[in-house]
Structure 1
């Protein structure tokens, strides 16, 4: 029985834990709060701040896992680099986790590998941000170098908006790096996530591209397959393959691209684990992204991944400024529609715009229709 130390226990970690448990693995789910989603289906749980170097080291030495599997950004990655040196296996690799936990490091790496990116710069003060933004263009995107699920991201044109973006980015950052990336606004046609699979043998394969839409920098809905030209798919696959082979290890990577109005493929971001937009694969593929990650990280043979039907996913969101205990209503109404499924994540309390579940359907229209019938209500 393989022992998995899961660092981060959100909805993606929950689905991954279910896939690992089906394979007979023993899972220790870790997060900074009690009763996180993955803890509800794991063997045991550890509640602690994963940015605490001493505590993270202590947990690793206590459990001596076969695999250390990060699921979030807020981790002291230097501990993982050290753990890998000491013989532990970090998924997909300590290098991948260390680079991708910080937008500046992975963006610099992508540029050095020759990938096409938006023009970008970094700022560590509000005044630096204003200065760098003026060099880049009239409209820019501002993001913390370390955050998750779109937290702290915004667009800005004026000096006043840039000052607000600085504050918003610092409030949304994870970790202790008070630094932002300011990048050229890309007037893109659409965005895709290319789920890219790297096996221990070095073999690289891909799922069908996933289209997605974001709001407030956070995923709202996705669909698979995204309609892309053969040239777009080929260019995206080549770029993704270059990135994952450089990062090394084994696992599934969510590689995001902007597709501009001329069909140009521009690297956006990379996550070295299952991706929120990839939840649609629970409906569309013979093996979901979580099943794939579980098989590849444990070194099990991977069957051919097939798209068995088109589909879409749509988030079930808490309202702005929502807090406390809650109830979810309208699921019965949503299931009256044909070809609709759902997942409730089991998060213990509400937060503003927090993802509480996801609708799965055979079409984007169907997913939106079903999601509009569901309401997350605060009991406070």
Structure 2
């Protein structure tokens, strides 16, 4: 392949914060983005060439997008894999990751079955469709996490079931067919951002520790505060996942580290992921730049750690939806090792992801993280993040 600049135009189904950061990464490469999103003036619009206002699965809108670009990808699992496959054939257009992979990921039961069939460890799971069935499973497993088979992501569509008495309410909460997973007694949650490029080349970013509360990712610590054997196992599992799924691009692979040191796959996102936002400052090539490179079939950038990093999400701390004005920004901008990312959303609502900040280790920290106090980095990130507010007073 002979690459020249200006580069091609990349179409993205979805124009939220991930589309925004893809646009920021694509511009220095000479790549223009056109996004499709149902929200007028979506977060990506300030940094991309154009937006098509249409639903993620709108046939007319997706075909218009396909007619204007040289390659197509998506930043949200609500894209329609059948429609993407159709436009790929109609317009002779590369679509990555492969629509079949999106189809697999969209159904959590199908996803787990595919992983288990490939010999990749996942928590014990069973499909459930009735309260009676869920009661029996919850009693047998001693408690389960109920997950909606379709439509849930980033913690949405999940409900814990500690005993049979919780079954009916949990099934109502997730709605429709669901999958029950045995509760995992985990030491920590970790993640690996993996990327597949042209000719099957794969690379992984350093293993990241992810800290959740109320099913929402609050902070990420890279490298993870865990042992070498767990790191090696997590990297191996991530490569097995990349070998199992089809199509180029970045994959967010969320994992459990059990108290016995075993690594289990929790969920997979066939796109850049919140767990990898630290790579913008902390890695040689960000997950967003590597996704652009991979989808276009360009050489992948190195995924090496530049400096240990902690990312803290900026969430809506309001009681009800209101126009978004973030206060307390001065202290973040004054911190020498902190970087702030604003997602450009007009309205804030309770716990909505509005941005993030990343604190990196200072000069001379080294690229392996072994000699860096990541607890101190996490504390600094939390202090800076907790000083931000959308409240009037």
TM-score (ref. length: structure 2):
0.88
Classify the secondary structure of the residue corresponding to 1:201. helix
RMSD between superposed Cα atoms in Å: 2.0
CA distance in 2, matches of 1:215, 1:58: 39
The offset of 1:7, in angstroms, is: 0.8
Q: Match for residue 170 of structure 2? A: 165
Of 122, 132, 145, the match for 1:141 = 145
Change in CA separation of 1:120 and 1:327 when aligned onto 2, cut-off 3 Å = same
Q: Shift of the alpha carbon at 1:56? A: 4.6
Which residue in 2 is equivalent to 1:103?
108
Q: What is the rounded CA distance, in whole Å, between the counterparts of 1:230 and 1:365 in structure 2? A: 24
Contact 1:144–1:179, Cα closer than 8 Å, also in 2: yes
Whether the 8 Å contact between 1:49 and 1:55 is mirrored in structure 2 is no
- The 1-side partners of 2:336 and 2:254 are apart by 31
CA distance in 1, matches of 2:85, 2:385: 41
Q: Find the aligned partners of 2:110 and 2:9 in 1 and give their Cα distance.
A: 30
Structure 1 equivalent of residue 389 of structure 2 = 375
3-state SS of paired residue (2:21):
helix
**1:140 to partner: Cα distance:** 1.1
Q: CA deviation at 1:123?
A: 2.2
| Cα contact 2:283–2:307 (8 A) shared by 1 | yes
Corresponding residue for residue 41 of structure 1: 47
Task: Measure how far apart 1:317 and its partner are.
Answer: 0.8
Farther off after superposition, 117-126 or 9-18: 117-126
Check the 8 A contact 1:325/1:378 in 2, yes or no: no
2:137 to 110, 132, 136: 132
- Counterparts of 1:247 and 1:303 in 2: how far apart (Å)? 21
Report the TM-score when normalising by structure 1: 0.91
- The aligned counterpart of 1:248 is 246
Aligned residue in 2 for 1:7: 13
Alpha-carbon deviation of 1:289? 0.9
1:226-248 Cα deviation digits (max 9, x unpaired): 13333322322222222212212
SS state at 2:347 partner? coil
Measured against aligned partners, the alpha-carbon deviations of 1:73-124 in whole angstroms (never above 9, x if no partner) come to 1122111222334432111222222211221221110010011111111223
TM superposition shift of 1:336: 3.5
The CA distance in 1 between the partners of 2:109 and 2:160, in whole Å, is 18
**Structure 1 partner of 2:292:** 294
Give the drift of 1:275: 0.9
For 2:203 and 2:137, locate their aligned partners in 1 and report how far apart those are by CA, in whole Å.
38
Question: Match of 2:390, SS?
Answer: strand
**Which of 218, 235, 238 matches 2:236?**
238
Instruction: Give, in whole Å, the separation in 1 of the partners of 2:286 and 2:177.
Output: 35
User: Does the 8 A contact of 2:34 with 2:65 survive in 1?
Assistant: no
Structure-2 change in CA distance of 1:352 and 1:118 (3 Å)? same
2:31 is the alignment partner of 1:17: no
Whole-Å separation in 2 of the counterparts to 1:75 and 1:186:
30
Q: After superposition, where does 1:133-212 map in structure 2 within 5 Å?
A: 133-135=138-140, 137-145=141-149, 146-170=151-175, 178-212=176-210
Measured against aligned partners, the alpha-carbon deviations of 1:253-285 in whole angstroms (never above 9, x if no partner) come to 111110111111111111111111111111211
Deviations for 1:184-231, whole angstroms, at most 9, x for unmatched residues?
A: 110100111111121111122211111101122221110101133333
Q: Is the 8 A contact 2:135 2:165 kept in 1?
A: no
Partner of 1:79: 83
1: CA distance, partners of 2:163 / 2:246 = 41
Cα 1:57–1:306, aligned 2, differ >3 Å: closer, same or farther? closer
Number of residue pairs matched by the alignment: 369
Match of 1:173 in 2: none
Instruction: Identify the match of residue 38 of structure 2 among 21, 32, 41.
Output: 32
In structure 2, runs of 5+ residues without a counterpart are 1-6, 361-376
What is the aligned counterpart of 1:217 among 215, 218, 241? 215
Change over 3 Å in CA distance of 1:60–1:335 after alignment to 2: closer
